[in-house]
Chains A and B, each alone.
Chain A
């Protein structure tokens, strides 16, 4: 069987450096170590162009080159006869390699020296298995079997919150991935917000990261998976720095940021964009304290699972807003008792505080405020997704914004707080607002002093 690159791609994960041989126009050979050989597809690889060196000069004169790579588990060696095609200096492949190179540089003490100028793309003409000793490959988790099991679990979900939870549970059960997070995109704000997580001390639901920041943000911006086997501070995913705000004139320090959860000793990270019908919906992110925890196979599995997730999110959003189930009988409202709970809303960015505790801001804050106003003024407790979508008081950032995801976030944040205000889903497309303490709604229109 003719070997293709996909069969040997674990050799390209940068554990044992590969080497490249080139030849000048005058016939002088040249050989050097490579910090990175990236799998592009079964017939192409890319190497990192970092300096204008002899290798680069040679491939521009004579495109024929050879790469020697080593399987880090078996010591099997492969010689790839390759032909230089072109250099990319931006885009998904470039960003993938740049992120990975930063990890390799930091791991090998070369931070600040390795810097990606371009991704040199080569066609692989032939792969030779080098005669020599090798060891049997260690038994490994079968990602395809894991993917099938995860896929079956995800496809049975009938609502968004269940879908988020089941996806993270499936990663744990079938891939042994203990730390994972799901983030949704707020397109106009250029930010991603966490809607579910697994394995962290604090759920971090509601925390945000800018598109373009760290592994998660770059994956979203480039719509490409980013996988790092040796974590680096350069791509530390910008745990939201707690910013402090002062209440106008009062000098009271308040927080309105939820820190992004994360492993303090994270060594491997993988972010897969969640895409559906040409749109970016969010990012699926996993991490581990082990070096090189996620392989190319894991990346394939997560990218595929993210594709199914994207289609499911899209379908469930549509269903929740267009075909709600008939209203269930109004449940008996719980007794309202105790001292009034102050709910403050800062109009500037819809920041909501319950008592002195920051709850949420932005679109989810606006939704809650609208619900609480209706509750206070009209004693309403039952709502539908469809009417919220049409409510002029709630300004969703764009028509495709995932309202249901905003509600999942709000429900989770309320559940993680004091429990005096809750949102309970009653049936598809419908939910109830449950309030167990008298509320005092305070609108603050003056801007927050930051």
Chain B
């Protein structure tokens, strides 16, 4: 599905509710010259109250390629998955930009880490391991915000990849 810049896409209420679950596993991808993709794990997310803007947090050292790519072309894809059910949703956008952190974002990142560790405990994953996975080397958190212009169900199965819209 091609993205239309400035299209009237809005997230459905159900999808928005899903994206607000705190313990989702989030990975985002960008692409650079020669259409070579780059990917980084996000350390939390924030969906704007009107469901139109998605903000992801990254460690700048980890997401170096993604930050460079979005400066050039703004293209981003991000997958959000709930480990307990494998339910997953992918958002795409073409206006991704690094933004200043809000004062409350530090708390958001710490809270996300706690929630994710707690959620994965039930599957036998060691909390220290998951903590390490979500803790940046230094305090180099950056935020990247984009307008979701399309959403796709990524729950494993033959229907994975189907576009979803506000009607859901």
Residues on A facing B (Cβ under 8 Å): 16, 19, 21-33, 35, 51, 53-54, 62, 64-66, 68, 70, 72-75, 77, 79, 81, 108-110, 113-114, 130-135
26 A-B contacts (beta carbon < 8 Å): A21-B37, A21-B38, A22-B37, A23-B36, A27-B75, A28-B3, A30-B37, A30-B77, A30-B92, A31-B37, A32-B90, A33-B25, A33-B27, A33-B79, A64-B34, A64-B36, A65-B37, A75-B129, A75-B133, A77-B62, A110-B156, A113-B157, A133-B132, A133-B135, A133-B136, A134-B132
Q: Is A31 a contact of B28 with CB atoms below 8 Å?
A: yes
Q: Known contacts A22-B37, A132-B59; can you find 17 more A-B pairs with CB under 8 A?
A: A26-B2, A28-B2, A28-B3, A28-B77, A32-B88, A51-B161, A53-B161, A66-B39, A70-B133, A73-B129, A74-B129, A74-B132, A75-B133, A114-B156, A133-B133, A135-B128, A135-B129
How far, in angstroms, from A72 to B126 measured CA to CA in the complex? 9
Known contacts A27-B31, A32-B79; is-contact A21 B39 (Cβ 8 Å)? yes
Most buried by B among A16, A28, A134: A28
Q: Is A31 a contact of B27 with CB atoms below 8 Å?
A: yes
Give the total number of A-B pairs whose CB atoms are below 8 A apart: 132
In-complex Cβ contact of B154 among A32, A114, A131 (8 A): A32
In-complex Cβ contact of B35 among A25, A35, A54, A133 (8 A): A25
Answer whether residue B86 sits at the interface, using C-beta atoms and an 8 A cutoff. Answer: yes
Q: Is A31 a contact of B136 with CB atoms below 8 Å?
A: no
How far, in angstroms, from A262 to B34 measured CA to CA in the complex? 53
Q: Which of B98-120 contact A (CB under 8 A)?
A: none
How far, in angstroms, from A73 to B126 measured CA to CA in the complex? 9
Q: Is B77 a contact of A21 with CB atoms below 8 Å?
A: yes
Q: Which residues of A contact B29 (CB under 8 A)?
A: 21, 29-31, 66
Nearest-CB residue, chain A, relative to B73: A27
Q: Is A29 a contact of B157 with CB atoms below 8 Å?
A: no
Known contacts A64-B37, A113-B156, A133-B135; is-contact A54 B161 (Cβ 8 Å)? yes
How far, in angstroms, from A132 to B90 measured CA to CA in the complex? 25
Answer whether residue B76 sits at the interface, using C-beta atoms and an 8 A cutoff. Answer: yes
How far, in angstroms, from A79 to B39 measured CA to CA in the complex? 8
Smallest Cβ distance from B55 to chain A, in angstroms? Answer: 17
Answer whether residue B21 sits at the interface, using C-beta atoms and an 8 A cutoff. Answer: no
Smallest Cβ distance from B51 to chain A, in angstroms? Answer: 21
Nearest-CB residue, chain A, relative to B150: A28
Q: Which of B49-66 contact A (CB under 8 A)?
A: 59, 61-62
Q: Which of B130-145 contact A (CB under 8 A)?
A: 130-133, 135-137
Q: Which residues of A contact B75 (CB under 8 A)?
A: 27-29
Answer whether residue B125 sits at the interface, using C-beta atoms and an 8 A cutoff. Answer: yes
Interface residues of B, dominant DSSP: mixed
How far, in angstroms, from A113 to B39 measured CA to CA in the complex? 26
Q: Is A27 a contact of B35 with CB atoms below 8 Å?
A: yes
Answer whether residue B41 sits at the interface, using C-beta atoms and an 8 A cutoff. Answer: yes
Q: Which of B150-168 contact A (CB under 8 A)?
A: 152, 154, 156-158, 160-161
In-complex Cβ contact of B61 among A22, A62, A73, A132 (8 A): A132
Q: Which residues of B contact A24 (CB under 8 A)?
A: 35
Number of B interface residues in the complex (CB < 8 A): 47
In-complex Cβ contact of B132 among A23, A51, A65, A135 (8 A): A135
How far, in angstroms, from A110 to B152 measured CA to CA in the complex? 20
Most buried by B among A22, A23, A62, A77: A23
Q: Which residues of A contact B160 (CB under 8 A)?
A: 32, 51, 53
How far, in angstroms, from A65 to B38 measured CA to CA in the complex? 8
Q: Which residues of A contact B152 (CB under 8 A)?
A: 54
Q: Which residues of A contact B133 (CB under 8 A)?
A: 70, 75, 77, 132-133
Most buried by A among B37, B76, B78: B37
Q: Which residues of B contact A75 (CB under 8 A)?
A: 129-130, 132-133
In-complex Cβ contact of A31 among B90, B129, B156, B158 (8 A): B90
Answer whether residue B10 sits at the interface, using C-beta atoms and an 8 A cutoff. Answer: no
Answer whether residue B45 sits at the interface, using C-beta atoms and an 8 A cutoff. Answer: no
How far, in angstroms, from A70 to B86 measured CA to CA in the complex? 18
Smallest Cβ distance from B40 to chain A, in angstroms? Answer: 8
How far, in angstroms, from A51 to B162 measured CA to CA in the complex? 12
Q: Is B35 a contact of A23 with CB atoms below 8 Å?
A: yes
How far, in angstroms, from A73 to B158 measured CA to CA in the complex? 32
How far, in angstroms, from A82 to B158 measured CA to CA in the complex? 25
Smallest Cβ distance from B109 to chain A, in angstroms? Answer: 14
Answer whether residue B147 sits at the interface, using C-beta atoms and an 8 A cutoff. Answer: no
Q: Which residues of A contact B92 (CB under 8 A)?
A: 28-30
How far, in angstroms, from A31 to B154 measured CA to CA in the complex? 10
Q: Is B38 a contact of A66 with CB atoms below 8 Å?
A: yes
Q: Which residues of A contact B62 (CB under 8 A)?
A: 77, 130-132
Nearest-CB residue, chain B, relative to A114: B156
Nearest-CB residue, chain A, relative to B83: A17
